Amino acid sequence: MDSHIYGVSKLFFSSLVIFLFFSSTTSVKQNPSPKSGQINSNSVLVALLDSHYTELAELVEKALLLQTLEEAVGKHNITIFAPRNEALERELDPEFKRFLLEPGNRKSLQTLLMFHIIPKRIGSREWPEEKSGSVKHQTLWNDRLHLTTKGGSGKKTVDSAEVVRLDDVTRPDGVIHGIKQLLIPRSVQEDFNRRRNLRSISAVLPEGAPEVDPRTHRLKKPAAPVPVGAPPVLPIYDAMAPGPSLAPAPAPGPGGPHHHFDGMSQVKDFIHTLLHYGGYNEMADILVNLTSLATEMGRLVSEGYVLTVLAPNDEAMAKLTTDQLSEPGAPEQIIYYHIIPEYQTEESMYNAVRRFGKVKYDTLRLPHTVVAQEADGSVKFGHGEGSAYLFDPDIYTDGRISVQGIDGVLFPEEETEKKPTAAVKVATKPRRGKLLEVACRMLGAFGQDSHFRSCH
């Protein structure tokens, strides 16, 4: 009896164990563990973040789309169309990129990125053939992309973008194709246009009163756009007002109101270089203290002009007399003759005189020019006793201002005045009377004047 009871108990226990085993297996099959919590290291999403599509990966992180893409990868395979880095970094409109990166436009950025993702695996084998024409596929943002294969060339396109790297990255849960340019959905484009129009309306600046040109006393016309780095439209002499000192007018050029060149800092830098170099303190003193040429040179450089300064050393400046410096405007005129409105270095000037013999350079002291020629393996400026040699080459060169040290002060060659011829004393003949002149004329008519000595 006990065995029967124990046998029944054993049979019941074994059947209970078998039932529990099958029920647990069926429950595991019906309720699989969710994948969204963990992403495999071999996932296409991890491959995107570690790929060479760094610009796209950075936008995905800024758009806070990682969680959404993890859920999409956990549900099904995906196809990502990744633009090249150059398309996002250089070829994209900077204003449009700024619009996407603004915190208030994150929704537009998310729309743009999910427009590049199809919740389906479309590899090179699944790509529609030429005979199939254009095939539509729905994106993660419920928009549609058209996949086509062009006839003849066999190029594959996604909407207007050409596929340049087919099956660039393949993983078990997805594939990445490299495309040539960014795909922009119409909704994002319309949002950008709407924001841009509103910004342009709110940013209208009031126009000021018309400006008068001080040279012509007429209304100024808007200057033509000048590319950055281009030489000024007007010559340097038109930017100088008449007078003993420079007074540059607002000449159009790459500098001026746009501040492409900081002439004041450049002039200050080259004067400091003169002082630290040593031996050119007098030249720096004239530029800064005795005249206002340093400030005025800075204005010229800010307007886009270039200058070469032939700087006499202290020994040469000490030879100047008081009379040469005491006349009004004399220091300015001396410095004007040492400033060439070109950018020249020691190498360029030496090559020029080696090739052409004598070279004339225009100066800011119109209409005088300074003559350069080769002498003793160096460059010699001026004529005769008033000449100077290139003593310290390339003291300062920054592409806008060049300073060359010389060992003498240059003066323009004065025109040799014509010397008056010496007056020769001529003995005056005794004046004849009126009556004798009449008589000589009458005798001359008859050919008898030769007989009279007084008529000769």
Strand 401-406 vs strand 307-312: parallel, antiparallel, or unpaired? parallel
Greater pLDDT, 336 or 11? 336
* pLDDT score recorded for residue 393: 94
CA atoms within 13 A on the CB side of 264: 4
**Average pLDDT for 8-25:** 51
Confidence of residue 428 (pLDDT cuts 50, 70, 90): very low
Which carries the bigger pLDDT value, residue 161 or residue 151? 161
pLDDT, the chain, mean: 78
Task: Provide Rg for the chain, Cα atoms.
Answer: 46
β-pair type (339-340, 135-138): unpaired
Q: What is the mean pLDDT of residues 55-67?
A: 90
Split at pLDDT 50, 70, 90, the class of 51 is confident
What's the rounded Cα separation, in Å, for the pair 145 and 116?
A: 9
Which tokens is 113 given?
């990125």
What proportion of the chain, given as a percentage, has pLDDT over 70?
Answer: 70
3-state helix, strand and coil shares in percent for the chain, rounded to the nearest 5: 40, 20, 40
Look at residues 137, 139, 163, 138 and name the one whose alpha carbon lies nearest to residue 149: 163
Judge whether residue 255 has pLDDT over 70.
Answer: no
Q: Is 365 exposed, middle or buried (0-12, 13-18, 19+ CB in 10 A)?
A: middle
Q: Give the pair of three-digit tokens for residue 391.
A: 């003593």
pLDDT at residue 425 in the model: 47
What pLDDT score was predicted for residue 176? 93
Residue type, 384: G
Asked if residue 368 has pLDDT above 80, the reply is yes
- pLDDT score at 443: 63
Task: Check residues 83 and 232 and name the one with the higher pLDDT.
Answer: 83
Which pLDDT value is given to residue 141? 84
Q: Does residue 133 surpass a pLDDT of 60?
A: yes
Answer whether 379's CB lies under 8 Å from 346's CB: yes
- Least confident piece of the model among 222-231, 293-302, 414-423: 414-423
Across 206-230, average pLDDT: 65
pLDDT at 77 over 70: yes
CA-CA-CA-CA dihedral for 196, 58, 80, 191, to nearest 10: -10
pLDDT, tens digit (0-9, with 9 covering 90-100), for 287-330: 888 788 888 888 888 888 889 999 999 999 999 988 888 888 88
Per-residue pLDDT band for 339 (boundaries 50, 70, 90) equals: very high
Residue where the block lists tokens 């000595």: 453
The whole-angstrom separation of Cα 291 and Cα 374 is 32
Span of 105-114, 241-250, 305-314 with lowest mean pLDDT: 241-250
Following DSSP, what letter does each residue of 63-99 receive, concatenated?
TT-HHHHHHHHHHS-EEEEEEPHHHHHTSS-HHHHHH
Q: Establish how many alpha carbons lie within 13 A of residue 41's alpha carbon, considering only the half-sphere containing its beta carbon.
A: 0
- Rounded to 5°, the CA angle 403-405-409 comes to 115
Is the predicted pLDDT of residue 216 greater than 80, yes or no? Answer: no
CB 302 within 8 A of CB 262: yes
Confidence tier at 350 by pLDDT (50, 70, 90): very high
261 backbone φψ class: left, alpha, beta (φ>0; ψ -120 to 50): beta
Contact 295, 344 (CB under 8 A): no
Q: Is the pLDDT of residue 213 over 90?
A: no
Q: What's the predicted TM-score (pTM) here?
A: 0.42
Average pLDDT for residues 255-275, to the nearest whole number?
Answer: 75
Split at pLDDT 50, 70, 90, the class of 370 is: very high
Q: Is the pLDDT of residue 257 over 70?
A: no
